[in-house]
Structure 1
């Protein structure tokens, strides 16, 4: 899928929440796009057809996976993000994807593997981890050059800085639960 078509597909899902995203809109959208392209890279080893960025479960999971941060105003955002994705799937008459999308979003911050490496849930978890870590730690086979190429195509636009700000705020207000979205 071309970049312009992919961006339009992501924007179509995010458009109702552009006001909530505010100045973080470009950064979040580019994060979503990097995650989708990273899913494509990671899934290539398993012969996914069509590639993840062309599959509704990946498009929906990517678009909504962190959106609850902005729509619900919380760093404990997995449940609000799942709710947004479920509403989207119902609106487009794809309730068949609710279980897998719920799992993809709900498990995307698991520190250990969530499934087999070829499973959609695990591919998505790994792709998000690569981007959140900016390709520096566990890259799951994604080369530094490939990550830099994606970062050049879809610039950070302050996304990682915002994550640090939100994390620091959560630490100050909830010192005993600074990262409620993390699972073992």
Structure 2
């Protein structure tokens, strides 16, 4: 069995999330752990190449943030806008097309091909693993996924998504349909 590198501390992520802690509120611990899990998987898919780490950390910190900043079930574009604004504001210098793409395509069902394919595809696969609670493994051994989930417990993150679907959509069913239509890409 292969292993996966698990980093318990990611100051870049925590700094970004700190800026939005009042908007995210009580959902922050669950969202933070979702972000940490997805970063862990994505870094594994790029062979832990350090050149990608700041970018992947940033993209995943913002991937779903539009749920809280804009109260939108179709949250990809709002999340992209917040990420791009902060990229400019703080002078991080991330390629705009890459940052927007990593967020925009992270729910794409089929493999991503196009500009920045390596990192965007790593992010896409990572999020599908976590969104499916490890049912979709994208080539990872289930014991590796269990190790990552043990390091960063769910803390109700998937329940939060259901609650927000109901809150923003009027019912879990209607919200679920709206969120699926708004974020899943073919």
How high is the TM-score relative to the length of structure 2?
Answer: 0.85
Are 1:131 and 2:134 an aligned pair?
Answer: no
Structure 2 equivalent of residue 150 of structure 1: 148
2:32 maps to: 29
Q: Segments of 4+ in structure 1 off by > 6 A?
A: none
Deviation (angstroms), 1:178: 4.4
Match of 2:105 in 1: 107
Q: Is the 8 A contact 2:111 2:121 kept in 1?
A: yes
Alignment match, 2:50: 50
Q: Distance in 1 between matches of 2:177 and 2:134?
A: 28
The correspondence of residues 1-184 of structure 1 with structure 2, limited to 5 A, is 3-6=7-10, 8-44=11-47, 49-50=49-50, 52=52, 55-115=53-113, 119-137=118-136, 139-169=137-167, 170=169, 172=171, 173=174, 177-179=178-180, 180-184=182-186
| Residue 35 of structure 1, CA deviation | 0.4
1:119 Cα deviation (Å)? 1.2
Partner deviation per Cα, 1:122-179 (whole Å, 9 max, x = no partner)? 1100001100101112x11111111111111111000011112233453735686342
Q: Secondary structure at the match of 1:108?
A: coil
Structure 2 SS opposite 1:155: coil
Gaps (5+ residues) in structure 2?
Answer: none
Asked if the contact 2:102/2:123 (under 8 Å) is kept, the reply is yes
TM-score (norm 1): 0.86
Cα displacement string for residues 66-110 of structure 1 (whole angstroms, at most 9, x for unaligned residues): 000011111111111001111221123234421101001011111
What 5-or-longer segments of structure 1 have no aligned partner? Answer: none
Work out whether residues 61 and 105 of structure 1, in 8 Å CA contact, stay in contact via their aligned partners in 2.
yes
Alpha-carbon distance in structure 1 between the residues aligned to 2:42 and 2:6: 15
The superposition leaves residues 13-35 of structure 1 with CA deviations (integer Å, 9 ceiling, x where unpaired) of: 11111011111100000000000
What RMSD in Å do the two structures reach over aligned CA positions? Answer: 2.4
